[in-house]
Structure 1
């Protein structure tokens, strides 16, 4: 059986893959729009693809005041230098916090802080610094219950890691059985050059294929592929075992638009929205 199997339009390969980062650049959606939009995602046919609603400390107080009722699993995103998990969770009292993401220059110290401050039942992802010491950072995470987080884009060309750097991170995680999420830049399914900025964007399907590759050469080749047809064929050919292996490693990525990745998957023939007759 291959990766496109499943009882409905959403397959295990995409389950919970898209964390809702609508509040973050370049989307910057107002809370008054982002919260109902997220709840709409959670009742849509593609609801299984949607992860938590991500919120940083700058909007947390407003979210607490305006969240209202209805399902809203929240992921707290804490930048470097911000308050620690205990303080953030206190400020988020009343919200359904399911995860915390924390950026740090000292992964070992952050792991110790999480051990002291993070309640059971809340997942954590530690954003690694891109300082050339990725192996040391991953060693500090290995054997913990926490995910790694890696920045795959941003508002400058330098925010996009080269293929070799990203492949080394993915393989390093796999060697240590450390799951990971990505953040920023994965706006589309397949690697491409942005026609406006000229930035080289990684594709989220390229990252999934790299996660399924099992070695550095395979990861590099997967990340470098630019042909939508080649990428789509490789994804469709993934066995259930490779899908499971990829998703054990690559758990999710933050996207300011849930619609964009879904549209890409549909265009590639990898996701089949229900027709009116199916509803």
Structure 2
């Protein structure tokens, strides 16, 4: 790490005190992030040192949010500000869920969280379904033409009348009318009128793919490998990935340090991963 990029002073926790984490170069941020994540896993949540480490991680990695938001630079400045804000939510979620034992770079781990929040923002504030640009424009033209003819004729205009006023073929007027249905959506939790029990919702009548089915093959391949582990290793796997205990909690149960638990889990995952690759 170059001293021109960030000036650091050692804190009582052994972490560097970074003056302005948002100005740390991306290359340096990657190295520093590993150090801060390592210390964060050993600090007690809620303490000043824990908050310092967490907040520094957030500010150091803001460049990831700006990088992800760059693909939407054609949007207006006000909307870009909103995009960055929701991207920050994704970054914070990634920081709170990341562990060095995952053996993956934080940048690779966090970008899906960041982009996911941005896509959720567009889903909640844009068209309910993707509609071609020309039809989006035709929808606005259709709304104006319908209002004008309804006022002039005193009734709902026909497709032919709209076609003549809009100077568009009738089939495009029909398409624009259909496209307007994609601008608003109904909640899947909304009650359906006329249902026998009076409480049925649209979601009750829509099937869905069971995403867990794709994991069945992996589970079948993994089961015999786990059965070959000794009892303590199987217990560690169960505590970590079934009971979702923290490394600190597992260490307390085993009577060993959190760092030792981290090494045990890394070794077990590497062994299982190698076995899965060999099977495939």
TM range (shorter): under 0.3
More helix by share: 2
TM-score (norm 1): 0.22
**Higher relative contact order at CA 8 Å, sep ≥6: structure 1 or structure 2?**
1
Which one has a bigger Cα radius of gyration? Answer: 2
TM-score (norm 2): 0.22
